[in-house]
């Protein structure tokens, strides 16, 4: 494996390379779990307004659809900021930049907690998305630089475990707290937890230098690196398929008579996703290509079965579990593939992944809404199937770059 594929240029940071070469086999768990906690806070900040829709609607004196736009404006903040901010800060020390991104969540969630104005809350949510875009662009590359090459995939998997933990534990807990004592206290609690996280990061995270001006690649050059485009295409189609179904999971469950069991359905999905990210974390450093293909194929089969027998509750539960298992490790898989393809330009490539991911989130809501209004939920599985087959074909053909086998890499 070349130094470029390790994501570290020796001319950029020779001390980092020496530290990596001398690194012990044990993973730096305290530092990696700090990164996971930052992802946990990010996901909670992103999704809680959807879970606390009625309470926020009443307090801010606006309609529930307008409160729903607090999620949309967050995604827009990430879309517009991730790439330009990452490029503009390539020369900054990585630790300082990460602390700014995480500390920003304490600020915007505090503003959200004390705000009585919808407009002010909307602005705070936009900047929350900006900080999220920057943080997502940094985390995978940061985790990879803390360990030797043969442990990079596992390190990224540990950092990414914050996502399924937020979905299975954080969101239900935040919803309960918001319902019991008020949504403002939920956001205030997140701010306090974020301040504790900043202190943890100051103590436990190593620092890494940014890239010298002469070594920085323009975004056009990053796009042209072998393997980057296939990773972006598979990310877009896979996450678009996921979000079409996830965004409109309640109406999709109506024909099976399961809409009132949404809590159980999401629990099944979340637990399966946790298992999925564990499997990926164990195997990714040896079997990344095979895991990407298996994940996409499993989701494809689940979509096909839902299309054929989606009115049978037991089959739906089985397909939800298969979908969760397939989806759980995707952030780890796609970000690891992107980091390896981009090498020393990993942070810029991650910012592109963040943008594509958020476009897919917005696109999933848009396409799913069109399908729901113009036809019916019975078309959902076939739309998913089309997108996933395309993703599977591209992933399968990206064997030399993008999703190479361990031997080819």
Task: Give the pLDDT confidence of 76-122 residue by residue, as tens digits.
Answer: 899 898 989 988 888 889 999 999 999 999 999 999 999 999 999 99
**pLDDT at 214 (0 to 100):** 58
pLDDT at 408: 55
Ordered by where they begin, the domains of the chain are 27-215 (1.20.1250.20), 219-397 (1.20.1250.20)
Please give the pLDDT value at position 343.
Answer: 78
Sign, CA dihedral 281-283-286-288, equals negative
- Give the integer Cα–Cα distance in Å for 39 and 34: 9
Query: Shortest CA distance to 110 belongs to which of 182, 202, 185?
Result: 185
pLDDT computed for residue 1 by the predictor: 34
By the 8 A CB rule, do 68 and 50 touch?
Answer: yes
Q: Could you tell me the mean pLDDT of each successive run of 10 residues in the chain, 409 residues long?
A: 36 44 70 96 89 86 83 88 88 92 97 95 96 91 89 89 85 85 94 97 91 69 89 96 87 90 85 91 92 98 96 96 95 90 82 89 84 84 97 95 77
* Contact between 355 and 79 (Cβ < 8 Å): yes
Whether 341 contacts 233, CB under 8 Å: no
Looking at residue 12, its pLDDT comes to 45
> What local confidence, expressed as pLDDT, does residue 375 receive?
74
User: What tokens were used for 309?
Assistant: 């027998």
Q: Select from 23, 15, 19, 292 the least CA-distant residue to 150.
A: 23
Q: Which residue has the tokens 């319902």?
A: 179
Helix spans in 205-261 (H): 219-224, 228-247, 249-253
């Amino acid at each position: 494996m070349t130094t470029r594929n390790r994501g570290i240029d020796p001319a950029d940071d020779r001390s980092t390379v020496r530290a990596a070469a001398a690194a012990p086999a044990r993973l730096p768990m305290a530092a990696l779990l700090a990164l996971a906690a930052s992802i946990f806070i990010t996901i909670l900040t992103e999704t809680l307004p959807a879970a606390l829709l009625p309470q926020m609607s009443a307090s801010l004196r606006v309609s529930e659809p307008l409160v729903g736009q607090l999620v949309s404006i967050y995604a827009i903040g990430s879309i517009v900021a991730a790439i330009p901010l990452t490029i503009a800060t390539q020369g900054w020390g990585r630790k300082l930049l990460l602390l700014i991104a995480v500390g920003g969540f304490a600020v915007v969630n505090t503003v959200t907690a004390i705000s009585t104005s919808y407009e002010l809350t909307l602005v705070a949510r936009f900047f929350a998305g900006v900080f999220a875009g920057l943080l997502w662009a940094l985390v995978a590359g940061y985790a990879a630089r803390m360990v030797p090459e043969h442990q990079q995939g596992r390190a990224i998997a540990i950092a990414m475990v914050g996502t399924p933990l937020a979905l299975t534990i954080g969101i239900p807990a935040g919803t309960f707290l918001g319902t019991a004592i008020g949504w403002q206290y939920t956001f205030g609690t997140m701010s306090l937890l974020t301040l504790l996280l900043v202190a943890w990061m100051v103590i436990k995270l190593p620092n890494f230098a940014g890239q010298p001006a002469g070594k920085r690649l323009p975004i056009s050059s990053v796009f042209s690196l072998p393997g980057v485009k296939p990773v972006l295409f598979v990310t877009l189609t896979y996450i678009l398929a996921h979000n079409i179904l996830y965004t409109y999971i309640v109406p999709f469950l109506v024909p099976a008579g399961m809409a009132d069991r949404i809590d159980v359905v999401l629990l099944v999905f979340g637990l399966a996703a946790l298992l999925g990210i564990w499997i990926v974390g164990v195997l990714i450093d040896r079997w990344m290509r095979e895991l990407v293909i298996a994940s996409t194929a499993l989701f494809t089969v689940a979509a096909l079965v839902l299309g054929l027998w989606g009115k049978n509750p037991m089959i739906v539960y089985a397909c939800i579990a298969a979908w969760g298992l397939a989806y759980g490790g995707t952030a780890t898989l796609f970000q690891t593939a992107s980091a390896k393809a981009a090498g020393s330009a990993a942070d810029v490539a991650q910012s592109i992944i963040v943008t594509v991911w958020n476009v897919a989130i917005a696109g999933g809501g848009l396409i799913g809404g069109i399908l729901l209004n113009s036809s019916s939920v019975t078309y959902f599985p076939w739309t998913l199937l089309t997108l996933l087959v395309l993703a599977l074909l591209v992933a399968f053909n990206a064997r030399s770059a993008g999703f190479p086998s361990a031997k080819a890499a």
